[in-house]
């Protein structure tokens, strides 16, 4: 039997949860980036209005940032997984990883999500 098996299994479950979250963030970024194309086609068909070039740029940049944040989350998850696995096997007590990077990532996602909300609300209101 593997020594500290339950700790290693918990570490792996946490790693997989981080990976699932990263994939979801990347998929959302792809959706945001492509949603502008949908708005442009729907706007031309329904309201005979085109999106402003600035609006298209904001949606494209926000989508690409979300995809990059998803990729960064995968790198962070892998690094934390390896570091925790080494700490579990270590005979010496080691300090925890801290939460600064986690708070930074959550803050970035909150700011980006708020900006997307404002952008989409502005897009909907401007179409009325």
End-to-end CA distance of the chain: 65
Q: Is the distance from CB of 120 to CB of 50 less than 8 angstroms? A: no
pTM: 0.70
Which tens digits make up the pLDDT trace of 62-103? 888 889 989 999 999 999 999 999 888 888 877 776 678 778
Q: Report the pLDDT value the prediction gives residue 13, as an integer from 0 to 100.
A: 96
- Counted residue by residue, the chain has a size of 128
Which tens digits make up the pLDDT trace of 101-119? 778 888 888 888 888 788 7
Which one is predicted more confidently, 12 or 49? 12
Q: Which residue blocks in the chain are alpha helix, DSSP H?
A: 5-46, 53-89, 100-127
The tokens for 83 are: 């570091």
Which tens digits make up the pLDDT trace of 45-60? 655 555 555 556 777 8
39 burial type by CB count under 10 A (0-12 exposed, 13-18 middle, 19+ buried):
buried
């Amino acid at each position: 039997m593997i020594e500290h098996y339950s700790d290693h299994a918990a570490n792996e479950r946490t790693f997989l949860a981080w990976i699932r979250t990263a994939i979801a963030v990347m998929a959302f970024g792809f959706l945001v980036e492509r949603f502008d194309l949908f708005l442009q086609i729907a706007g031309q068909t329904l309201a005979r209005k085109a999106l402003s070039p600035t609006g298209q740029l904001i949606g494209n940049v926000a989508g690409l940032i979300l995809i990059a944040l998803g990729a960064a989350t995968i790198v962070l998850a892998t690094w934390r997984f390896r570091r925790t696995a080494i700490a579990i096997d270590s005979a010496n007590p080691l300090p925890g990883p801290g939460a600064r990077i986690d708070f930074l990532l959550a803050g970035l996602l909150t700011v980006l999500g708020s900006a997307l909300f404002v952008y989409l609300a502005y897009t909907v209101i401007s179409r009325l």
